[in-house]
Structure 1
Amino acid sequence: NGDNAMKILIKLLSMGAALAAGAAARKALEAGWRKSTGNEPPKDAGNLRNPLPGVLVFALATAASGAVIQVVTQRLGRKAALRLGRDPREV
């Protein structure tokens, strides 16, 4: 069915956009961390050489950017569904 194929295509495009945006945001966060602190980002929370405040700030920034990206890509996917005459709740 063409409707099912379109729903799958919209979902795949939304997922691809979310993954690409997430990777770009992660790189930007890491570069920003390096530039502002002069150190590598504390990606390994279990590494005791990384100070706890830095680990927490980096984790919070990563989580916040991920949440924003998820919301934006979901909304864009639903807007695309509306433009194509589909029910946005199905995306």
Structure 2
Amino acid sequence: MNVLFKLMGTGVSIGSGLLASKIIDMVWKKVTGKDSPKHDDDLENSLRSTLVFALVSGAVSTVIRVLSQRGTQRAIARYTKTRSLV
């Protein structure tokens, strides 16, 4: 069962990371009016906008990773506690 919990935690982290990436892209486009600076061959983006995007997306992804790991750990602890009661 421990392997199942690890796989579940990994799946939750990957899913939340993908969702956060899509949300960041949509918010970036809405705020700046341009696509997010992700591609290497796009020379229209300034270094400032690229650095700001990297900082924002890095901070958001770190927060989401920590929150998803904590949520998964709480769910595992709750399952383990209620499983022993049944």
The answer to whether the aligner puts 1:38 opposite 2:33 as a matched pair is: yes
Report the aligned-residue RMSD: 1.8
Alpha-carbon distance in 2 for matches of 1:46, 1:24: 25
5+ residue gaps, structure 2, are: 82-86
Equivalent of residue 76 in structure 2, options 73, 77, 81: 81
1:43–1:29 distance in 2 versus 1, CA, 3 Å? same
Separation of aligned partners in 2, 1:69 and 1:9:
21
Corresponding letter in the other structure for 2:25: E
What is the TM-score normalised by the length of structure 2? 0.82
- 8 Å contact 1:42–1:58 — kept in the other structure? yes
Over 4 Å off, 4+ runs? none
Pick aligned residue for 2:5 from 7, 10, 17: 10
Instruction: With the length of structure 1 as denominator, give the TM-score of the two structures.
Output: 0.78
The question of whether the paired residues in 2 share the 8 Å contact of 1:11 and 1:77 is answered with no
The 2-side partners of 1:45 and 1:55 are apart by 11
User: 2:76 corresponds to which letter in structure 1?
Assistant: A
Higher RCO (CA-CA < 8 Å; seq separation 6+):
2
Structure 1 counterpart of 2:62, from 54, 62, 67? 67
